[in-house]
Amino acid sequence: MSRFLSPISINTKATIGILRIIIGVMMVYHGWEVFSIAQIKEYAQWDIFKNSSSPLIIPYIGKSAELISGLLLLLGLFTRVGAIILIGTMAFITFWVGNGIIWYGDQYPFMFLLFGVLFFFVGPGKWSLDHIVFKPKSKYTSYK
């Protein structure tokens, strides 16, 4: 009970790894719409896009960014790059498409933005390809 109430972290790397994988799966799911021409055309009809010179381009770029960031986070490969893509995409959706509404309604993009910030600063956690590709150089660094 004392460990539960203490400020010492419990399985931080595993928790971050699980969250990264779940967020990665969710972003792949949302980004998969890039392969649905009908869905992209529906997004292109939104007022915010249809007045632009190329209304299909922004939804394609956004959905591609969601897919790429999702795959990178899911695999834990170049996690910080995936986090930057996620942050940029979700900031665009939150503050430009969603007019900065973060307290009700469409608050999910802002939540994904916050997770992107978390993964950027904390890293991939456990079970990532980053740990294989970028092995720790110090014997004091541990990814357990």
How many CB atoms are closer than 10 A to CB 80? 16
Mean pLDDT of 125-133: 92
The verdict on residue 4 lying in a domain is no
Expressed as residue numbers, the domain containing 115 is: 12-133
Q: Rounded to an integer, what distance in angstroms lies between the CA atom of residue 96 and that of residue 106?
A: 13
The verdict on residue 6 lying in a domain is no
The verdict on residue 141 lying in a domain is no
Residue 142 — pLDDT band, cuts 50, 70, 90? low
Specify the residue for token string 């790397």: 13
Q: How many residues does the chain have?
A: 144
- Specify the pTM: 0.87
Is the pLDDT reported for residue 141 higher than 60? no
Is the pLDDT reported for residue 30 higher than 70? yes
Q: Locate 76 and state its tokens.
A: 């834990």
The verdict on residue 125 lying in a domain is yes
In this predicted structure, what is the pLDDT of residue 4?
77
Mean pLDDT of 124-140: 82
The verdict on residue 2 lying in a domain is no
**Number of domains making up the chain:** 1
Q: What is the pLDDT of residues 45-54, one digit of tens each?
A: 988 888 888 8
Q: What is the dihedral angle through the alpha carbons of 66, 69, 74, 78, rounded to the nearest 10 degrees?
A: 180
